[in-house]
Every structure is written in C-alpha cells, then in structure tokens.
Structure 1
Amino acid sequence: MKSNHPVLHFPKTGVEKMMDIISLLFIVINLVYLISVWNTLPAEVPIHFNGKGEVDGWGGRALIWLLPTISLFLWVGLTLMERVPHLFNYPIEITEKNAAFQYRNARMMSLFLKVEIILFFLYTSWESVHVAMGKEEGLGTLALSIFLILLLGSVAFFVTRSVRNAK
C-alpha cells in the first residue's frame, strides 16, 4: 500500500500514551471481571442484543470471551495503524505544510475511538453477565444511544477539525 502523502514520524504525547493505557486497562478490567464470575455463569449467556438493547441471541458461556478478545485485537490493530498515518484516507489534501497537524489529529481520533469502543465492550460484557444471571433484562436503548452519540460525535469533531485546518 503506497501513498503520496509525506511520511512523518513523531512520538506519542503524554495524553496519547495515557489514552492507550486507559484503553488497555479497560481490557484488563474486562478480563479480570469475567474470570471472577466465570464459575457462577450459567451454561448460556447473551451473545447479541438488538437495537432496542434486548437480547436476541444466546450461546454457550465460552462466548463471553468474544468481546474482550475483539477488544484486544482492536487495540493491537489500531495501535499499529496509528504508526502509519500517511496511509490514512483524509477528507482533505495532505501537504507538507498540513501533514503534521492532520496526522496528529487522525491519530487522536483513532485513540478516542479505541477508548470509546473498548469501554462499550467492557460495559456490554458486564451487562451480558448480569442478563445471564437474571439480574438485568438487556442493555436498554440508553446505553446504545450514548455510545452512538459519543462515537459519531468524536468522528464529527475530528473530521471537522481536519477540514478547518486543511491549510
């Protein structure tokens, strides 16, 4: 995959490193939580929720490990991707003059999305356990709504920021 964008390398800032640590910590918390409740889980757990937050799919309890596994792959994949911002697709033309800002902006967007998605997966795992144990009935629409607003809001913020700083 080749790009005609300038190739720049710059270290992550303290805030960026902290966001990486926070997202990784969410994965660890998810794993520790699931390990702690594993022996109390019933044979079947919710594996899918519909748009209303209602359970519409059940599976064996081993599937409870799916979200933390996806979280880990997401973390690794996005972390590796953040190293090559010159390969990203941008809504504006990348030049020598704006490349540093655009790359940092895109990397920050990736970090925000990583934290938000992994936190939602942690919450969904927690809710899945509670539903499996009969303590809850589903995610509810509020959780999904908040997640989508945060996710789409972050994308809109960073894309707008990119376009405003196109020069």
Structure 2
Amino acid sequence: MYANRPKIKIQLEPIDTILEATTAAILIALWMYVIISYSSLPETIPTHINYKGEVDGTGNKMLIWVLLGITTVITVGMHVLTRFPQIHNYMVNITEENAQHNYRLSSRMLRYVNLLTLLLLAYVCYAMIQKSFGDNFFMESAMTYLIIVYSVAMPIVLIVFMLKNQKAPK
C-alpha cells in the first residue's frame, strides 16, 4: 500500500518550524518544571481530579514520572511520524503530482495535533503538581473548559486541513 507512494523530502515552512520549536520548548519546560518540583512533592500526590477540582484518586509521587514519560513518548512519536508522510492515511490516491501538497498538509496537521495534545498533557501534569501543593490555580472549572476547548479545537483543525486537502491537485 505504501510501497507505491513517492518518498520525497518536504521542506519545512516557517509555520512548521514554529510549531516544532514551540512543541519542543513546551516539552523541555515541562521536564524542567517536574525536575524542579519533584523534591518538594509530598509522597502521595493526586492522580485523578474530577471536573469539580476534587481529588478522587491518589498515588505515589513517582507516578508523575510515568505521566511525563507517556507525554514524552507521545510527543516524540508524533514528531517522528511527521518525518514519514508517505505512511499516513489519505483520502486521495497519492501520486508524484500531488505528493508534495498532501504530505505537507498531513505533516502540518500532525504537528498541530502534537502541540494540542502536549498542551493538554502538560496541563494535567501541572495540575497534579499544583494540586499536591494545595493550589487550586485553574483547577476547578478550567480543566473542564480546557477539555471542551481541546475537544472542539481538534475536530476544527482536522476539518480545516481536510478542506484544504480537497483543493489539492488530484
């Protein structure tokens, strides 16, 4: 299926570079925040916070590393996938004529998805740490709104990219 698709190098445009740099900066900042905060964390930290901002699950503070590890694997994994657009799924047949356009759009969409997913997971990590310090900053309704915004923004991003893709050379 993928063997017949052209393998071409897609040059990054400024928006792609900005998306990648922003994603990398947020991931590095998240690591620094966890490293700096870890020694101050109590042995038991919140592992689940309901929509009201109430803790309804706790665990060992080592679990923050699990969340950070999962976040890193997802972020790096999606970044790696942007480098192989020929293996992405497309709604059109990929040819030499339309490969550049479709590959660029698909990789860019994945960069947006990666950034939005990282922002959500970084917020969860931040919220767990802040809640363990007794701080409710942006906890109660903000998380609910963040999830709603994420849930609305992601399909919009995908639809915009799909509509742009329909204008691609066939």
- Superposed, 1:30-109 pairs within 5 Å as 30-49=30-49, 55-109=55-109
Q: Distance in 1 between matches of 2:133 and 2:93?
A: 52
Q: Counterpart of 2:152?
A: 149
Residue 133 of structure 1 deviates from its aligned partner by 2.0
Q: Distance in 2 between matches of 1:5 and 1:55?
A: 50
| C-alpha contact 2:97 2:169 (8 A) present in aligned 1 | no
Q: Counterpart of 1:131?
A: 131
Counterpart amino acid of 2:156? G
Q: Distance in 2 between matches of 1:50 and 1:124?
A: 12
Please, which runs of 5 or more residues in structure 1 have no aligned partner?
none
* Cα 1:54–1:85 shift into 2, 3 Å: farther
Please, which runs of 5 or more residues in structure 2 have no aligned partner?
none
Q: Counterpart of 1:10?
A: 10
For structure 1, which segment, 131-140 or 155-164, has the greater mean C-alpha deviation from structure 2 after superposition?
Answer: 131-140
Residue 52 of structure 1 deviates from its aligned partner by 6.8
Counterpart amino acid of 1:10? I
Counterpart amino acid of 2:114? K
Q: Distance in 2 between matches of 1:51 and 1:162?
A: 37
Q: Counterpart of 1:120?
A: 120
Residue 55 of structure 1 deviates from its aligned partner by 4.2
1:161 equivalent to 2:164? Answer yes
